[in-house]
Amino acid sequence: MKVKNAKFVISAVSPKQYPDSNLLEVAFAGRSNVGKSSLINALLGRKRLAYSGSKQGMTRQINYYNLDDEIHFVDLPGYGFAAVSKSEKNLWGKVITDYLNVRPQLYLVLMLVDIRHKPSKDDENMYQWILNSGIDYLVVATKADKLSKQQARNNAQIIRNTLQIPPEKDIICVSAEKRTGIDKLWEAIDRYIIEEDDEAENNQKGEEEK
């Protein structure tokens, strides 16, 4: 998708604030500092529309961006702050799982992991929640410019083994800084949009034929 007009909609702190809209949603999940805001900006061709907030107290915030009134990008709260309390951590879990389970218009989750690091326990939890939700997902390894091609391949394998990503599922390596992999990622997102639109059309036809 070639985005002409991207705008910030809301920082929702409770499900009541999620936009009352049927636009399809693509959600972004990953630990804090993984490069989530940078990737969203790179996909939108913008410098600073998305930004990572100050580190504490952001555990419950879900940021919505509207892309040409066609889809919403949904920036889920980053995780992995060393200093957060247990209750804050539980809250984060609840915010994420609530969101994954209540949004029928959510059709794709991008699970971001830093190409340089073995996924953390929080990453493993996040990945399990995505699997449990049954929603389609893509695994995206960020900051690919920081490693050689060979190192990136090796690390992608470590990510695959740690999260137990099935062999048929690609890991898409991107660099927001160098813009590598961004077109490939858009192509992958677009494929899901087309599939989802076809499905909606078929459902509608089915309804009309009844």
| CB nearer to ligand GDP: pick between 51 and 161 | 51
Residue 59 is a binding residue for ligand GDP (CB under 6 A):
no
Residue type for position 158:
I
Q: Which of 111, 160, 175, 181 binds ligand GDP (CB under 6 A)?
A: 175
| CB nearer to ligand GDP: pick between 82 and 194 | 82
Backbone region of residue 57 per phi and psi (left: phi > 0; alpha: psi in -120 to 50; beta: other values): left
Shortest separation between residue 146's beta carbon and ligand GDP, angstroms: 5
What DSSP assignment string belongs to 128-183? HHHHHHT--EEEEEE-GGGS-HHHHHHHHHHHHHHHT--TTSPEEE-BTTTTBTHH
Residue 156 is a binding residue for ligand GDP (CB under 6 A):
no
Q: Which of 11, 33, 133, 162 binds ligand GDP (CB under 6 A)?
A: 33
Q: Which of 12, 24, 36, 77 binds ligand GDP (CB under 6 A)?
A: 36
Stretch of 7-15, 17-25, 36-44, 202-210 contacting ligand GDP, by CB under 6 A = 36-44
Sign for the CA dihedral angle at 157, 159, 164, 166 comes to negative
How many beta carbons lie within 10 A of that of residue 17, not counting itself?
13
Shortest separation between residue 163's beta carbon and ligand GDP, angstroms: 18
Q: Comparing C-alpha atoms, which of 9, 195, 179, 29 is closest to residue 96?
A: 29
Shortest separation between residue 2's beta carbon and ligand GDP, angstroms: 21
Distance between CA atoms of residues 97 and 60, nearest Å: 11
Residue with tokens 């900006």: 41
CB 119 within 8 Å of CB 127:
yes
Residue 37 is a binding residue for ligand GDP (CB under 6 A):
yes
Q: Classify residue 24 by its DSSP letter.
A: E
Residue 146 is a binding residue for ligand GDP (CB under 6 A):
yes
Shortest separation between residue 6's beta carbon and ligand GDP, angstroms: 16
| CB nearer to ligand GDP: pick between 3 and 193 | 3
Stretch of 1-9, 128-136, 137-145, 183-191 contacting ligand GDP, by CB under 6 A = 137-145
